[in-house]
Amino acid sequence: MTQKPLCPKINFNTYLLSFLLLVLMGALAGCKSITGIVADGEGEWDTLALEEEDFWMEEQLLPYQAAATRSMDLIHMDLELGFDWKSQRVIGKAKLRLTPYFYPQKIIVLDAQDFELGRVARVQKGQLETLAYRYDEQELQVYLPEELAPGDTVELEINYVSFPERNSGEGSAAITDTKGLYFIDPLDTIPGKPTMLWTQGETQHSSKWFPTIDRPNERLTHDIWLTVPDSMVSISNGRLIQQESLGNGIRRDYWKMDLPHAPYLVAIAVGDFAKVSASHGDLPLGYFVEKGFEKGAAKVFASTPEMIAYFEKRLGVPFPWQKYDQIVVRDFVSGAMENTTASIFMEELLLDEREALDSEWDYIIAHELFHQWFGDLVTAESWSNLTLNEAFANYSEYLWNEKRYGQDQADLKLVVEKEGYFAEADAEPKELIRFNYADAEDLFDAHSYNKGGLVLHMLRRELGDAAFFKGLNLYLTQHAFQAVEAHDLRLAMERVSGRDLNWFFNQWFFAKGHPELVVEVDYSQPENLLVKFSQVQTMYETPIFQLPVTLSWYEGGIRKTKTVRVTEAEQEVALENGNPISLLFVNEGQELLMKGGQVLSNAQYLQQFRESQLGVARYEALDSLAAREAHAELTEILPLAIKDSFAAVRERGLSLLQGDSEWKELLPGLEAEVYRLVEEDAENKVRSSALEVLTGWNPTAYKGAMMRLARDPSYLVAGAALMGLALLEDSKVELSWVETFEGESNFRIAVALAEYYITNQVPGKGPWFEKTLAKLRGEGLYYFMGYYGTYFLEVGVEAKGAAIANLFAVLKFSTKDYLRLGAFQALLGFAAEEGVLAKLEEASAEESSEELQSYYAYYLEMLKEEN
């Protein structure tokens, strides 16, 4: 599963609504910009021992969560489902074939949440025999007339109606609800929203729609029959075997899954989807999206066949299942979910063909795809071991970056993952594999994901590529269709490499924290540097780590490296480098999961930027100098940064130039170079960033270029051009020219138009604002709402009432936290209007997210003080 970003993904030098964004960042802890890799090595060392003790105490109080005991083994399910769209009920008949796992059994315990049960019977030679049972709305205990011996099977038939809406409530940050099955706009009452249903089983929510043993260490095969309207498409696991018309516009689809997988991976989706077909060899691929988005889907998911080929090659294990479908749905409760052969994605992946030019969704596509091996083929035996699913899926994003975009991009990705992990670990370090927790949903955090992926990278570095990937191959083939725990991975790696790895798994998987390293380099003998390492992490719970630290330097442009194995709290090595060195790099590629390092001066960062062949090191140098506001050094490297071979460095450089026209005076030729990037850079992100720099410096001079670029195929570029034009103070563009863009549905165009209409006080645009608000979704809607509020507050005041009502509708009904926040923000502007404050307080009281609640409370309090 990929978590939904807590905040919309932001291009950090975007022109868009930085105010709202900052507020959002502040409100939702954990939303981080991807810019900060300042490593100045100071502060941060001393964590309070007292706090650690508190965590320790707290953890002891949490219950120990064992892997589920396997009393019965569920072998196969036949499931017939019909849907009552009106009352959002599922009408089901399940036949379950079970056998005792080891010991004889007389009672069968099944998970079945919020069902109304009909007959529960045993099928004996074609006859039904009603059985006694006890049911408490959560668990169904079925009493067999006689004890079932190991090796014997029993077939149960259970008729039921399930109610996904009952007792639904807040899930976690990763999975925001627990209904299991979701009816979306079931009676087609919401304009512009398609009617559909889809499921989300992880963690234990499949038993909201079929009776099962809802545990990750269970595995079953199944046949599913779905009765659906003829106008709709159904998708499920395995293969579609048959479609049978039942008359009256009703059809029955038969899906067969003949390879065993865990109940939480069972999934269905039903809706008016269009299918884009593709293939990888004999493997059929399907991309399911709302009609009208087929061409966009073909682009968004275009890398899928190549990704499968690459992962197959690295793992030496063919894609394990019958087909692979990817389905984009509305109102998904997470980012995406790796249901076996049928991954489901959030609607942010719904792009039209032109938007798909700048699609950045490869990471989530890789993540769910890699889960088909790690998670689906081999499955974490309990949620305590969740990282055995998520570490791999997370690391696949690195692998794909490395393959597709190169080492620099992959390295930077690792830095971003590290920052995410540190943000969480600084507040509360936890074991990667932890058996004491209150709620399984708590495991979906930056430890299981980010740290897990980083630790796999440590393991790869420790063993080398050949052993690491051969170890993965052994792990997958040995444990195919089985539940696994961390020791299975360790044993596979040990077997392949011939090395003991207990120490590695102990320090990374079973202990808390990470190394914090102080590195002092003595340059007094430049031909033999003395390097002193000190591990300064608090030793209360965090171990002394064994860590291979790469030291590197350059001799006449040639990179030299030496790896030092740091194993002690204090350790000193002589480099014996021979030729004199003026700067030694420690962990130059940033690949180690650790904090600290060598404290560098501004001059040394300047040298790092000039010398390093690693993009991530140049990025770090630039970023650190920017954080220190090292003006002299920046003056030297900014002209180089915007010409750097690594696009992220060019972008970071441009972001530093933005809004500061002093650079243009200081650095002759710089402006021409920035303009060259606008026209020639291979990356649309860089082109739009460069354009933003110029429109900030000298807008009128680029009016002609902007009018041409407003028609650029890339919305990133076109949006930046239009925004530049909207902000022109003299030599304004004609209203009639601006209006030719009103038919566009991309938010970047929409916010630029909105900006023009607001700054120029254009009356009569209320209907366009209304239409655009209704059309936009996701992050686009979030950005637009601020403009929308401002327009009706300042220009289209006559329609203020309706606008307020529309914003309240988003605040009340949106399933996304950040959209409710956006609506709240926009409504704050109307606080002086009659009744608005009272309604905001009402909405605040009904808000389900605690973070938003406290945020709302803060602002409402401030407003009350003002009034």
Let me know how long the chain is. Answer: 867
CA-wise closest residue to 522 among 597, 565, 575: 575
CA 412, CA 615: separation in Å to the nearest integer?
8
Per-residue binding string, Zn ion, 382-401, x by CB under 5 A, is: --------x--x--------
CB of 5 to Zn ion, least distance (A): 14
Q: Pick the closer one to Zn ion by CB: 181 or 393.
A: 393
Q: Which residue has the tokens 């991530």?
A: 616
Q: Is 456 one of the binding residues for Zn ion (CB under 5 A)?
A: no
Q: What is the 3-state secondary structure (H, E, C) of 535-573?
A: ECCCCCCCCCCCEEEEEEEEECCEEEEEEEEECCCEEEE
Q: How far is the CB of 390 from Zn ion (least distance, A)?
A: 5
We find the least distance from the C-beta atom of residue 178 to Zn ion, in angstroms, to be 18
Q: How many CB atoms lie within 10 A of CB 667?
A: 15
Shortest distance, position 626 Cβ to Zn ion, whole Å? 33
How many other β-carbons are positioned within 10 Å of the β-carbon of residue 767?
A: 10
Site for Zn ion in 393-452 (CB under 5 A): 393
Smaller CB separation from Zn ion, 264 or 545: 264
DSSP string, 191-204: TT---EEEE--TTT
3 state SS of 522 = strand
Least Å distance, CB 335 to Zn ion, is 8
Please identify, using beta-carbon distances, which residue of 320 and 597 lies nearer to Zn ion: 320
Structure tokens at 672: 């021409």
Closest approach, Cβ 368 to Zn ion, in A, equals 7
Residue closest to 314 by CA, chosen among 375, 410, 400: 400
Measure CA 621 to chain center.
28
Closest distance to Zn ion from the beta carbon of 444 (Å): 8
Reported for 47-51, long-range contacts at CB under 8 A and 24+ positions apart, including other chains, are 47/538, 49/538, 49/540
Beta-carbon contacts of residue 204 (< 8 Å; ≥ 6 apart): 111, 214, 215, 264, 440
What's the Cα-to-Cα distance from 684 to each of 229, 357, 660, 750, rounded to whole Å?
A: 43, 9, 22, 19
**Least Cβ distance, residue 391 to Zn ion (angstroms):** 9
Distances (CA, A) of 59 to 247, 431, 656: 58, 11, 44
Query: Given the complex with Zn ion, which of 85 and 363 has the nearer CB atom?
Result: 363
Under a CB-based contact definition with an 8 Å cutoff, are residues 415 and 616 in contact? yes
Minimum distance of Zn ion from residue 269's CB (angstroms)? 18
> From the CB of 395, what's the least distance to Zn ion, in Å?
11
User: Among residues 393 and 852, whose Cβ is nearest to Zn ion?
Assistant: 393
Which span sits near Zn ion by CB under 5 A: 1-9, 102-110, 164-172, 277-285? Answer: 1-9
From residue 766, alpha-carbon distances to 196, 739, 748, 794 in Å are 31, 14, 19, 12
Q: Which is nearer to Zn ion, 202 or 253 (CB)?
A: 202
Q: Compose the 289-308 pattern: x for residues touching Zn ion by CB under 5 A, - for all others.
A: --------------------
CB of 455 to Zn ion, least distance (A): 16
| Closest CB to Zn ion among residues 370, 715 | 370
Using the structure block, give the residue that is written with the tokens 């894609």: 319
Nearer to Zn ion, 393 or 804 (CB): 393
Q: Which is nearer to Zn ion, 1 or 213 (CB)?
A: 1
Nearer CB in complex with Zn ion: 1/175: 1
- Compute the least distance from the CB of residue 320 to Zn ion, in Å: 17
Contact yes or no for 472/458 (Cβ under 8 A): no
1 in contact with Zn ion (CB under 5 A): yes
Give, as one character, the DSSP assignment of residue 537.
S
Taking the complex as a whole, the smallest distance from the CB of residue 337 to Zn ion amounts, in Å, to 8
Q: Measured from the CB atom, is 390 or 712 closer to Zn ion? A: 390
Helix, coil or strand: residue 89: strand
By CB under 5 A, what part of segment 331-390 binds Zn ion? 390
CB of 334 to Zn ion, least distance (A): 9
State the nearest-atom distance from the C-beta of 379 to Zn ion, in Å.
Answer: 12
Nearer to Zn ion, 393 or 823 (CB): 393
- 483 neighbors 217 (Cβ within 8 angstroms): yes
CA gap 633, 826 in Å, rounded: 41
Number of residues that bind Zn ion (CB under 5 A): 3
Binding characters for Zn ion, 504-543, by CB under 5 A (x = yes): ----------------------------------------
The smaller minimum CB distance to Zn ion, of residues 2 and 658, is found at 2
Beta carbon nearer to Zn ion, 393 or 454: 393
CB 860 within 8 A of CB 825: no
Nearer to Zn ion, 390 or 591 (CB): 390
Pairing of strands 154-162, 139-148: unpaired
Looking only at residues 133 through 162 of this chain, which bind Zn ion when binding is defined by CB under 5 A?
Answer: none
Q: Compute the least distance from the CB of residue 404 to Zn ion, in Å.
A: 19
What the block records as the tokens of 655 is: 């972001």
Q: Minimum distance from CB of 338 to Zn ion (Å)? A: 6
What is the torsional sign of CA 130, 136, 141, 145? negative
Q: Which is nearer to Zn ion, 452 or 822 (CB)?
A: 452
Q: Which two tokens stand for residue 473?
A: 């191959």
Q: Tell me how far CA of residue 530 lies from CA of 199, 521, 569, 597, in angstroms.
A: 59, 6, 17, 15
3-state SS string for 275-324: EEEEEECCEEEEEEEECCCHHHHHHHCCCHHHHHHHHHHHHCCCCCCCCE
Nearer to Zn ion, 1 or 600 (CB): 1
Nearest CB to Zn ion, comparing residues 1 and 476: 1
Tokens of 262: 């865990």
Q: Is 759 exposed, middle or buried (0-12, 13-18, 19+ CB in 10 A)?
A: middle
Angstrom CA distances, 115 to 112, 160, 306, stand at 6, 6, 43
We find the least distance from the C-beta atom of residue 364 to Zn ion, in angstroms, to be: 9
Distance CA 480, CA 73 (A): 17
Residue 150 three-state SS? coil
Give yes or no for residue 257 binding Zn ion (CB under 5 A).
no
Tell me the C-alpha distance between 775 and 783, whole Å: 13
Stated as kind and residue range, the H or E segment containing 256 is strand 250-261
Q: Which neighbouring-strand residues pair with 242?
A: 254
User: Using CB under 5 A as the criterion, which residues of the chain lie in contact with Zn ion when the complex forms?
Assistant: 1, 390, 393
